[in-house]
Amino acid sequence: MVLLSASACGLRKLLLVCENYATAHGLRYNVTKTQYMVFEPRGYRIGEVPPIQLNGTPLERVNGFKYLGHIVSSDMKDNMDIERERRALSVRANMIARKFARCTKAVKVTLFRAYCTSLYTCSLWVCYTQRAYGALRVQYNNAFRVLVGLPRFCSASGMFAMARMDCFYATIRKRCSSLVRRVRASPNPILRSIADRFDCPYLRHCCEMHVSCSPYFV
């Protein structure tokens, strides 16, 4: 469970509601697994924060935590989550290459499409460095090369075209467009109000980062 508040005072009130609910229903929160994080605007460092307690125990302040598999960081950047996905992609690709080394190329391509193109929560990435983004792209390309037995420095665009596979940029664009489509089709009025705006920041981000700035469209 995650609580969001614009101030430390508001967060204390939310925690008090949780404490009262837990007491009324015979429950107890695990204080050792409960942490809090302060989102810091760009260029502004927040130092001391009033004590945040749960059941009388001070909570630990962290710079990042994983929620539903996605790493959220205090600087509101996605570098940590991109690195998480890069490591996960490396593990999946190595496992497939080791266990299915004797399979045909068609089978390997199918396995790569099923297990290495999901790029979990990549449609949520908005603020990141080119270094982190480039490292994931290189990992994606190298994983496919290793799986199908291609030279390390062969053309990435050529190998994906020959295999009829989506390249890294195409995979990202599809994930982003899928999220936009699902938000627009959602019956939730809050999501609809965001998706129906022509000045939606996320739509602008998708257009700028995944279309106009893609190497294939320069």
* Domain assignments of the chain as residue spans, ordered by start: 8-62, 79-217
Would you list the DSSP string of 130-161?
HHHHHHHHHHHHHHHHHHHT--TTS-HHHHHH
pLDDT: which is higher, 4 or 213? 4
pLDDT in tens, 94-143: 999 999 989 999 999 999 999 999 899 998 898 889 999 999 999 999 99
Cβ atoms < 10 Å from Cβ of 113: 16
Cβ atoms < 10 Å from Cβ of 73: 18
Please answer whether residues 81 and 121 qualify as being in contact, where contact means their C-beta atoms are separated by less than 8 angstroms.
Answer: yes
Dihedral of CA atoms 158, 164, 166, 168 in degrees, nearest 10, equals: -30
- pLDDT at residue 213 is higher than 60: no
Cβ atoms < 10 Å from Cβ of 197: 11
d(CA 218, CA 204): 18
- pLDDT at residue 28 is higher than 50: yes
Short-list 186, 105, 182, 92, CA closest to 142: 92
d(CA 100, CA 107): 9
* Amino acid 78: pLDDT: 92
- Grade residue 151 by pLDDT with cuts at 50, 70 and 90: confident
pLDDT in tens, 56-105: 899 999 989 898 999 999 888 899 999 999 999 999 999 999 999 899 99
Q: What is the mean pLDDT of the chain?
A: 86
* Amino acid 87: pLDDT: 96
pLDDT in tens, 153-209: 888 888 999 999 999 999 998 888 888 888 888 888 888 787 777 677 777 777 666
pLDDT in tens, 42-55: 767 777 888 899 98
* Amino acid 11: pLDDT: 92
Model-wide pTM > 0.85: no
Would you say how long the chain is, in residues?
218
Would you list the DSSP string of the chain?
-----SSHHHHHHHHHHHHHHHHHTT----GGG-EE-----TT---------EETTEEPEE-SEEEETTEEEETT--SHHHHHHHHHHHHHHHHHHHHHTTTS-HHHHHHHHHHHSS--TTGGG--S--HHHHHHHHHHHHHHHHHHHT--TTS-HHHHHHHTT---HHHHHHHHHHHHHHHHHT---HHHHHHHT-TT-HHHHHHHIIIIITSGGG-
Type of residue found at 177: S
